[in-house]
């Protein structure tokens, strides 16, 4: 049995890291205020399924103990043994489109077999197929008295308003590193595992608020009932803190020569992009925090924020770029050169190779042939390098200087689109620049990692500007969808405050 399953909390007293939620639920349950539908939302590993199970067990327990299921009545025992006809667990993520889910939900109107209530736990509810979803909506509109729905989702924005408005909503926060460490200490104590404190802290940080991941990592890091810091670092391919501090210091002092040495070190260590960026972002968070509190005079808060923004915007590109190392190189160089308006000729030569990288990066993202392959003349290359060097410190999208004429929609180019929009609505470009895009024939999906950019871009007026510009460029009718994608590891709210 995995540590996660073994130590899954069974009552409200053990769900200590979602205090507010367990208190509200327990109190309302004790007072007999039971809703017919609950929707639990939050990132993975934060206790949604655990809470759903306690709720399901609770509503049918024959002998509640201070709002907790008793674990010893016939119903509790049946539940624990997985012998529970009236509790139906559905993982919508793995069964989308399967007809029997619709049937199951439609059968909700029949009385329970043994229990007082029929309980439906639907995990990742936003993934339900349309027929299943309609069946759910129909049942929620006129809920039979004997039915309880417990819906869970990591993406509440994708759950339709009609479902949300009919359910009691609970937002699960990411679990703090301190709480994760506390829980890991408890589990290690119970299991007789000797763990170095620093090792547990690293695990807690890497788990990014997900206790389930932390317990899995703990399990993987245990060798002969011991967990050592070195072993954890190597399993997670982490760079030691002192090097991360050095990177940040080098960026702050804009020391280009030192940065080239650091890049060599990182290359030889096979640094992995997401892990490295996570570490740098957390390092910057710490630096910002101490600068905010006046404990750090190396750089001011605004400078750290500026550097943070560079890494944050690069983070959202990780998935769209095949070569992670390229992104590491470019982002570190951008960060070091952030204050520069234009580079000198000498510096251009020094970072010439990286400028070629920048072009490849653009090419990978936009799926266009790097211009150097088209233009063979060396002179032209040199000119491009200098122009790009002038743009490299702008941090945002580098605007190429020439565009192919008469592009068809199969040659869709996001940067070209932005350039066109810039002519009519330059403020919109600031938001669109932060988006990742997915493009199929005549539809464009813009995926934002920050809510404020998303909110500004996702209005009918703004979408119309995009649609019109697409129409002008590619002579077709387009559909444009904006959606929000929280960065998997860190959100700005987590990191800054
Ligand atoms: Zn019971």
* Paired tokens of 388: 């790009």
How far does the centroid of ligand 1 lie from the alpha carbon of residue 39, in Å? Answer: 23
For the chain, domains (ranges, CATH) are 3-172 (3.40.50.300), 177-235 (1.10.8.60), 245-257+272-392 (no CATH), 409-496 (3.30.300.180)
Q: Given a cut of 50, is residue 27 above it in pLDDT?
A: yes
Q: Given a cut of 70, is residue 232 above it in pLDDT?
A: yes
Q: Given a cut of 60, is residue 342 above it in pLDDT?
A: no
How far does the centroid of ligand 1 lie from the alpha carbon of residue 101, in Å? Answer: 28
How far does the centroid of ligand 1 lie from the alpha carbon of residue 118, in Å? Answer: 16
Helices (H), 293-400: 301-315, 324-336, 345-350, 352-366, 371-374, 378-392
3-state class of 435 per DSSP? Answer: coil
- Residue 497 CA to residue 491 CA, distance in Å, equals 10
How far does the centroid of ligand 1 lie from the alpha carbon of residue 21, in Å? Answer: 21
How far does the centroid of ligand 1 lie from the alpha carbon of residue 288, in Å? Answer: 49
Q: Given a cut of 50, is residue 79 above it in pLDDT?
A: yes
How far does the centroid of ligand 1 lie from the alpha carbon of residue 311, in Å? Answer: 51
Terminal-to-terminal C-alpha distance of the chain: 37
How far does the centroid of ligand 1 lie from the alpha carbon of residue 180, in Å? Answer: 29
How large is the average pLDDT for residues 248-253?
93
How far does the centroid of ligand 1 lie from the alpha carbon of residue 191, in Å? Answer: 27
Please give the biggest Cα pair distance in the chain. 84
How far does the centroid of ligand 1 lie from the alpha carbon of residue 75, in Å? Answer: 6
How far does the centroid of ligand 1 lie from the alpha carbon of residue 71, in Å? Answer: 5
pLDDT in tens, 36-68: 999 999 988 888 988 999 999 888 889 988 888
Question: Greater confidence, 31 or 486?
Answer: 31
How far does the centroid of ligand 1 lie from the alpha carbon of residue 64, in Å? Answer: 6
How far does the centroid of ligand 1 lie from the alpha carbon of residue 95, in Å? Answer: 31
CA angle 451, 426, 487 (to 5 degrees): 25
How far does the centroid of ligand 1 lie from the alpha carbon of residue 302, in Å? Answer: 56
pLDDT at 95: 61
Question: Greater confidence, 383 or 388?
Answer: 383
Helices (H), 222-351: 229-235, 241-252, 256-268, 273-292, 301-315, 324-336, 345-350
How far does the centroid of ligand 1 lie from the alpha carbon of residue 413, in Å? Answer: 61
- Residue 401 CA to residue 396 CA, distance in Å, equals 15
How far does the centroid of ligand 1 lie from the alpha carbon of residue 48, in Å? Answer: 21
How far does the centroid of ligand 1 lie from the alpha carbon of residue 62, in Å? Answer: 5
Rounded to 10°, the helix 19-30/48-60 angle is 10
How far does the centroid of ligand 1 lie from the alpha carbon of residue 475, in Å? Answer: 65
Q: Given a cut of 50, is residue 388 above it in pLDDT?
A: no
Q: How confident is the model at residue 201 (pLDDT cuts 50, 70, 90)?
A: very high
Q: Given a cut of 60, is residue 395 above it in pLDDT?
A: no
% of the chain with per-residue pLDDT over 90: 23
3-state class of 316 per DSSP? Answer: coil
How far does the centroid of ligand 1 lie from the alpha carbon of residue 114, in Å? Answer: 14
Using alpha carbons, list the distances in angstroms from residue 179 to 19, 23, 495: 11, 17, 17
How large is the average pLDDT for residues 385-405?
38
Secondary structure of 126-174 in the HEC alphabet?
HHCCHHHHHHHHHHHHCCCCCEEEEEEECCHHHCCHHHHCCCEEEEECC
Compute the mean pLDDT over every residue in the chain, rounded to the nearest whole number.
Answer: 79
- Residue 445 CA to residue 428 CA, distance in Å, equals 16
Question: Greater confidence, 158 or 100?
Answer: 158
Q: How confident is the model at residue 115 (pLDDT cuts 50, 70, 90)?
A: confident
Q: Given a cut of 50, is residue 377 above it in pLDDT?
A: no
Q: Which range has the worst mean pLDDT, 75-79, 88-92, 412-416? A: 412-416
pLDDT at 97: 55
What pTM does this model have?
Answer: 0.55
Q: CB neighbours of 35 closer than 8 A, spacing ≥ 6?
A: 148, 167, 168
Residue whose pair of structure tokens reads 């934060």 in the numeric block: 46
How far does the centroid of ligand 1 lie from the alpha carbon of residue 37, in Å? Answer: 21
How far does the centroid of ligand 1 lie from the alpha carbon of residue 81, in Å? Answer: 13
3-state class of 300 per DSSP? Answer: coil
* Closest-CA residue to 198 (of 247, 241, 249): 241
How large is the average pLDDT for residues 223-227?
92
How far does the centroid of ligand 1 lie from the alpha carbon of residue 26, in Å? Answer: 15
Q: How confident is the model at residue 358 (pLDDT cuts 50, 70, 90)?
A: low
Q: Which range has the worst mean pLDDT, 79-88, 92-101, 106-115, 213-222? A: 92-101
pLDDT at 20: 85
How far does the centroid of ligand 1 lie from the alpha carbon of residue 78, in Å? Answer: 9
* Paired tokens of 76: 């509790």
How far does the centroid of ligand 1 lie from the alpha carbon of residue 87, in Å? Answer: 14
How far does the centroid of ligand 1 lie from the alpha carbon of residue 124, in Å? Answer: 27
- Residue 485 CA to residue 435 CA, distance in Å, equals 10
- Residue 462 CA to residue 425 CA, distance in Å, equals 9
How far does the centroid of ligand 1 lie from the alpha carbon of residue 120, in Å? Answer: 18
Choose the most confident range, by mean pLDDT, from 15-29, 151-165, 397-411: 151-165
Q: Given a cut of 90, is residue 247 above it in pLDDT?
A: yes
* Closest-CA residue to 128 (of 51, 39, 207): 39
- For 262-299, letters b (16+ CB in 10 Å) and e give bbeebeeeebbbebbbbbbbbbbbbbbbebeeeebeeb
% of the chain with per-residue pLDDT over 70: 82
pLDDT at 134: 86
Spatial contact of 375 and 381, defined as CB atoms under 8 Å apart:
yes
* Paired tokens of 281: 């972002």
pLDDT at 361: 64
Using alpha carbons, list the distances in angstroms from residue 302 to 305, 353, 402, 486: 5, 30, 35, 24
Choose the most confident range, by mean pLDDT, from 119-133, 401-415, 480-494: 119-133
pLDDT at 494: 32
- Residue 3 CA to residue 18 CA, distance in Å, equals 20
Q: Given a cut of 60, is residue 474 above it in pLDDT?
A: yes
Spatial contact of 49 and 41, defined as CB atoms under 8 Å apart:
no
Query: How are strands ordered across the β-sheet holding 118-123?
Result: 87-91, 118-123, 147-153, 37-42, 168-172
3-state class of 438 per DSSP? Answer: strand
pLDDT at 235: 76
- Residue 270 CA to residue 276 CA, distance in Å, equals 10
pLDDT in tens, 272-328: 888 889 889 988 988 888 888 877 777 788 888 899 999 998 888 887 777 888 889
Q: Given a cut of 50, is residue 392 above it in pLDDT?
A: no
Q: How confident is the model at residue 333 (pLDDT cuts 50, 70, 90)?
A: very high
How large is the average pLDDT for residues 223-231?
91
How far does the centroid of ligand 1 lie from the alpha carbon of residue 68, in Å? Answer: 8
Q: Given a cut of 50, is residue 186 above it in pLDDT?
A: yes
Q: Given a cut of 60, is residue 401 above it in pLDDT?
A: no
């Amino acid at each position: 049995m995995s540590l996660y399953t073994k130590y899954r909390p069974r009552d409200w007293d053990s769900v200590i890291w979602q205090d507010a939620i367990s208190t509200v639920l327990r109190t309302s349950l004790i007072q007999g205020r039971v809703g017919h539908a609950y929707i639990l939302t939050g990132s993975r590993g934060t206790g949604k399924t655990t809470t759903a199970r306690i709720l399901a067990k609770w509503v049918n327990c024959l002998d509640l103990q201070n709002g907790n299921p008793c674990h010893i009545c016939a119903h509790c025992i049946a539940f624990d043994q997985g012998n529970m006809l009236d509790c139906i667990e559905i993982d919508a993520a793995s069964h989308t489109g399967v007809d029997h889910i619709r049937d199951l939900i439609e059968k909700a109107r029949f009385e329970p077999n043994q229990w007082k209530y029929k309980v439906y736990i639907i995990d990742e509810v936003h993934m339900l197929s349309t027929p299943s979803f309609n069946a759910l909506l129909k049942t929620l509109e006129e809920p039979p008295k004997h039915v309880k729905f417990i819906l869970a989702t990591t993406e509440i924005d994708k759950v339709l308003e009609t479902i949300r408005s009919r359910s009691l909503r609970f937002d699960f926060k990411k679990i703090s590193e301190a709480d994760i460490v506390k829980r890991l200490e408890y589990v290690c104590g119970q299991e007789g595992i000797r763990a170095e404190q620093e090792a547990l802290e690293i695990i807690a940080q890497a788990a990014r608020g997900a206790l389930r991941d932390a317990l899995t990592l703990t399990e993987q890091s245990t060798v002969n009932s011991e967990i050592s810091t070195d072993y954890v670092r190597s399993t997670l391919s982490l760079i030691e803190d002192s090097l991360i501090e050095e990177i940040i210091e080098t960026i702050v002092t804009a020391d280009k020569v030192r940065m080239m040495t650091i890049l060599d070190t990182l290359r030889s260590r096979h640094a992995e992009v997401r892990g490295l960026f996570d570490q740098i972002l957390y390092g910057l968070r710490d630096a910002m925090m101490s600068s905010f509190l006046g404990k750090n005079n190396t750089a001011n808060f605004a400078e750290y924020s500026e550097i943070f923004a560079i890494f944050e915007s690069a983070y959202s590109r990780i998935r769209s770029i095949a070569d992670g190392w390229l992104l590491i190189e470019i982002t570190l160089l951008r960060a070091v050169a952030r204050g520069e308006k234009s580079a000198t000729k000498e510096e251009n030569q020094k970072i010439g190779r990286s400028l070629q990288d920048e072009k490849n990066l653009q090419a990978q993202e936009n799926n266009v042939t790097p211009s150097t392959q088209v233009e063979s003349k060396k002179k032209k290359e040199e000119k491009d390098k200098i122009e790009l060097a002038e743009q490299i410190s702008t941090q945002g999208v580098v605007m190429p200087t020439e565009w192919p004429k008469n592009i068809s929609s199969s040659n869709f180019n996001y940067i070209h689109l932005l350039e066109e929009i810039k002519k009519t609505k330059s403020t919109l470009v600031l938001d669109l620049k932060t988006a990742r895009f997915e493009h199929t024939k005549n539809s464009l999906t813009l995926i934002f990692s920050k809510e404020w950019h998303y909110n500004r871009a996702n209005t009918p007026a703004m979408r119309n500007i995009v649609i019109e510009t697409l129409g002008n460029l590619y002579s077709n009718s387009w559909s444009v969808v904006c959606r929000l994608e929280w960065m998997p590891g860190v959100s700005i709210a987590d990191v800054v405050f």
